[in-house]
Amino acid sequence: MAEPTVTTLLSAEQITERVRELAKAISRDYVERKLVLVCVLKGSFVFAADLARSINIPVRIEFLGVRSYGEGTSSSGVVQITHDLSRPIAGEDILVIEDIVDTGLTIAHLLELLGTRKPSSVKVCALLHKPARSRVEVPIDYLGFTIEDKFVVGYGLDWAERYRNLPFIGVVGPS
Ligand code: PRP
């Protein structure tokens, strides 16, 4: 069977430029605060790594492992934590880093969960947003790109665990 083709939607250069802009805004907004980046695994690992390296104020980095019990390809909002934060976050300023907000159910659940741990603030930074699939209104405080309802891969995002290592974001097409 032939390999499916991947058509570029957002090039590595476009992503780099946008990530730098987001990091600049975050660095400015969180000066003199206690910023903790919470990287939601797995998809956010590439975005979080690039974003963190462009932020020029002190940050703590945490990882949250999440498994979403989906109905096929869409999430149900029932989220299981497979790896929890390594330390308490009370009194700290949390920025949840997501690769994509699709239905919004995952981030809605995470905001509720993190809010119970008494942080000073919780905000969201997402690289991609697909408003066409939104099922719940969620705040996205820092957003990279709004995209159409297409299945995207690369830059951390997978298709059956493949393509996470692509340096750009693309759409998987027919082979
Ligand atoms: C993706 C993404 C978000 C979630 C968004 O994770 O990283 O966590 O889906 O979808 P939603 O807005 O519809 O809830 P995925 O379940 O693909 O897991 P992965 O990050 O491990 O690839």
In this model, does residue 98 exceed pLDDT 90?
Answer: yes
Average pLDDT over residues 154-165: 97
Q: Residue 157 CB: number of other CB atoms within 10 A? A: 22
Q: What is the pLDDT of residue 1?
A: 67
Q: Which atom of ligand 1 is nearest to the CA of 109?
A: 14
Q: What is the pLDDT of residue 78?
A: 76
Q: What is the pLDDT of residue 4?
A: 85
Average pLDDT over residues 92-107: 97
Q: What is the pLDDT of residue 73?
A: 55
Question: Residue 50 forms beta bridges with which residues?
Answer: none
Ligand 1 pocket check: which of 44, 66, 96, 129 to mutate, most ligand atoms within 8 Å of Cβ? 66
Q: What is the pLDDT of residue 71?
A: 55
Split at pLDDT 50, 70, 90, the class of 2 is confident
Taking alpha carbons only, the member of 112, 99, 94 closest to residue 30 is 94
Average pLDDT over residues 6-10: 97
In this model, does residue 70 exceed pLDDT 70?
Answer: no
Q: Is 129 in the pocket of ligand 1 (CB under 6 A)?
A: no
Split at pLDDT 50, 70, 90, the class of 72 is low
Question: Helix %, strand %, coil % for the chain, to 5?
Answer: 25, 40, 40
Q: What is the pLDDT of residue 103?
A: 94
Contact criterion met (CB below 8 Å) for 8 and 153: no
Ligand 1 pocket check: which of 81, 83, 99, 158 to mutate, most ligand atoms within 8 Å of Cβ? 99
The three-class DSSP label of residue 147 is coil
Q: Is 99 in the pocket of ligand 1 (CB under 6 A)?
A: yes
Residue having the nearest C-alpha atom to atom 13 of ligand 1: 103
Q: Is 153 in the pocket of ligand 1 (CB under 6 A)?
A: no
Contact criterion met (CB below 8 Å) for 166 and 6: yes
Q: What is the pLDDT of residue 3?
A: 82
In this model, does residue 128 exceed pLDDT 90?
Answer: yes
Q: Residue 167 CB: number of other CB atoms within 10 A? A: 12
Q: What is the pLDDT of residue 37?
A: 98
Check if 102 is active-site.
yes
The residue count for the chain: 175
In this model, does residue 175 exceed pLDDT 90?
Answer: no
In this model, does residue 76 exceed pLDDT 80?
Answer: no
Q: What is the mean pLDDT of the chain?
A: 94
Q: What's the CA gap between 16 and 102, in Å, rounded?
A: 22
